């Protein structure tokens, strides 16, 4: 959420920057400022009424002590009117504040200056590519056919139990899945991230804090009876560990990693491009989250990008990195780099990680602050990234490592799997 003070001081700059997202926010920003003026005027009037009421209450006490009961009674009537006015103004202030908060939730984060303009994912900027695309054997299969051939993932059984998008991993498929989770967590720990185990359901305040709520795209699963939400990513519970916290500057950097299942409705996702593991309602992901000093957050973002690159090099998967354009940038992000693995059998790129800097956007919602060396309170910067999301990494491994007599396991995963081939 953008800070009101920033909107007051830089309204035109914000409106211009949001045009990269193809959003004309001028009228909305004007509406926010007008409502903020009303809020401040109401607050000033309320403060004045309360101060006058407190002053008169003291006078009443002194009059009673002086035996001037009649004069005290007259003033008591006046305090009654002031209390009614204060109550009315308090209700108005709450209503205006709620309306203002609702409008602020509609403004996305301001894109970083390096974000390219564009409308769709076709306008994203490729900034790096690495790895050789393998030449597959004749008759190479996409991963959903390989899964059936070697009986390692059962999509139809998942449909029977829950519905489309809930696969069942079997035998070596399940062990490879577990191996990837352990490998990712170990790599993150080696890089200085503290492993956490967090809830897989969150309350509304947590969803609001990281920007998943209000849910504009209908992607979150809601447990109505308990008013809880299944997490779409570990980013939500991990980042909310710091909600309403005031940190010390010496605490930075804070680096956490967590494995969780993730749940997304993926409303409106149909077609061949979402077959198999390409798009799921439940999937596993290992996340990295950082809370940083504002002066260091972009250096930290570069470090996160290098970390994911290192993992993909060890897996020996061909990949590329995209800088997302304004039209494809996530609502809460200031700058995002997407990693994509090339699926040789499908002849297309598959997104397997997003690494983002949210600057103060989430921290403002979370009320996540720190004390600087002068004792002044400031908003921290939050960052997160996938390291990594399993389904498409697994799809890339199955397809790119297939041979005429089975599927080889990447060398780095063999100690975790306990086998070097699926046949």
- pLDDT tens for 378-398 read 999 999 999 999 999 999 999
Q: Out of 104, 136, 166, pick the residue that ends a domain.
A: 104
With a cut of 50, which residues of the chain have pLDDT below it?
Answer: none
Q: Does 168 reside within a domain?
A: yes
156 and 248 in a common domain: yes
252 and 216 in a common domain: yes
Number of domains in the chain: 2
Binding site annotation covers 351?
yes
pLDDT at 54: 87
15 and 52 in a common domain: yes
pLDDT at 222: 96
What residues make up the domain containing 93?
4-104
pTM of the model: 0.93
Q: Does 198 reside within a domain?
A: yes
388 and 249 in a common domain: yes
344: CB partners within 8 A, 6+ apart: 133, 134, 136, 140, 318, 399, 400
Dist. CA 109–CA 362, nearest whole Å? 9
- Hey, is 256 helix, strand or coil? strand
pLDDT at 412: 98
132 and 100 in a common domain: no
Dist. CA 175–CA 168, nearest whole Å? 12
Q: Where residue 83 sits, what CATH number does that domain have?
A: 1.10.287.40
pLDDT at 273: 64
pLDDT at 411: 98
149 and 84 in a common domain: no
Q: Does 402 reside within a domain?
A: yes
Binding site annotation covers 384?
yes
Q: Does 114 reside within a domain?
A: no
Binding site annotation covers 374?
no
pLDDT at 338: 98
pLDDT at 76: 79
90 and 159 in a common domain: no
pLDDT at 198: 98
Binding site annotation covers 39?
no
Q: Does 394 reside within a domain?
A: yes
pLDDT at 403: 96
Binding site annotation covers 66?
no
Pairing relationship of beta strands 254-263 and 194-196 according to DSSP bridges: parallel
Q: Which two tokens stand for residue 148?
A: 């059936």
Q: Does 113 reside within a domain?
A: no
Binding site annotation covers 240?
no
Q: Where residue 328 sits, what CATH number does that domain have?
A: 3.30.930.10
Q: Out of 56, 72, 104, pick the residue that ends a domain.
A: 104
150 and 97 in a common domain: no
Q: Out of 39, 71, 104, pick the residue that ends a domain.
A: 104
218 and 345 in a common domain: yes
325: CB partners within 8 A, 6+ apart: 20, 115, 116, 117, 118, 119, 120, 121, 123, 124, 125
10 and 89 in a common domain: yes
Task: Say if residues 219 and 188 touch (Cβ distance below 8 Å).
Answer: no
Binding site annotation covers 354?
yes
175 and 89 in a common domain: no
13 and 157 in a common domain: no
Neighbour tally for 29: CB within 10 Å:
21
Q: Does 111 reside within a domain?
A: no
Q: Does 193 reside within a domain?
A: yes
């Amino acid at each position: 959420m953008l800070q009101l003070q920033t909107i007051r001081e830089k309204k035109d700059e914000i409106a211009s920057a949001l045009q990269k997202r193809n959003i004309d926010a001028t009228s909305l920003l004007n509406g926010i400022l007008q409502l903020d003026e009303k809020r401040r005027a109401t607050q000033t009037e309320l403060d004045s009424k309360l101060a006058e009421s407190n002053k008169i209450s003291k006078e009443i006490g002194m009059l009673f002590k002086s035996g001037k009961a009649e004069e005290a009674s007259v003033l008591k009537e006046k305090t009654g009117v002031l209390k009614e006015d204060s109550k009315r103004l308090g209700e108005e202030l709450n209503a205006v504040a709620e309306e203002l908060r609702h409008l602020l939730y509609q403004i996305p984060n301001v894109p970083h200056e390096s974000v390219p303009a564009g409308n769709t994912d076709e306008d994203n900027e490729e900034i790096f590519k690495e790895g050789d695309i393998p030449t597959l054997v004749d008759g190479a299969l996409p991963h959903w056919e390989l899964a059936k051939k070697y009986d390692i993932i059962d999509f139809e059984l998942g449909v029977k139990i829950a519905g489309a998008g809930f696969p069942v991993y079997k035998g070596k498929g399940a062990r490879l899945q577990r191996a990837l989770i352990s490998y990712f967590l170990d790599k993150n720990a080696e890089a200085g991230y503290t492993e956490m185990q967090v809830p897989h359901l969150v309350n509304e305040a947590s969803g609001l804090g990281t920007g998943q709520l209000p849910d504009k795209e209908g992607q979150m699963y809601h447990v109505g009876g308990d008013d809880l939400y299944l997490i779409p990513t570990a980013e939500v519970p991990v980042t909310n560990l710091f909600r309403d916290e005031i940190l010390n500057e010496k605490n930075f950097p804070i680096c956490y990693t967590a494995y969780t299942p993730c749940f997304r409705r993926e409303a409106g996702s149909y077609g061949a491009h979402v077959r198999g593991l390409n798009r799921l309602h439940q999937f596993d992901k290992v996340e990295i989250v950082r809370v940083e000093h504002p002066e260091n957050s972009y250096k930290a973002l570069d470090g996160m990008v290098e970390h994911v690159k290192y993992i993909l090099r060890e897996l020996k998967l061909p990949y590329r990195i995209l800088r997302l354009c304004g039209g494809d940038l996530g609502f809460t992000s200031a700058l995002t780099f997407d990693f994509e693995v090339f699926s040789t059998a499908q002849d297309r790129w598959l997104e397997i990680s997003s690494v983002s800097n949210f600057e103060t956007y989430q921290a403002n919602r979370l009320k996540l602050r720190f004390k600087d060396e002068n004792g002044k309170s400031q908003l921290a910067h939050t960052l997160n990234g996938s390291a990594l999301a399993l389904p498409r990494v697994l799809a890339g491994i199955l397809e790119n490592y297939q041979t005429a007599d089975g599927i080889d396991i990447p060398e780095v995963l063999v100690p975790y799997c306990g086998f070097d081939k699926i046949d």
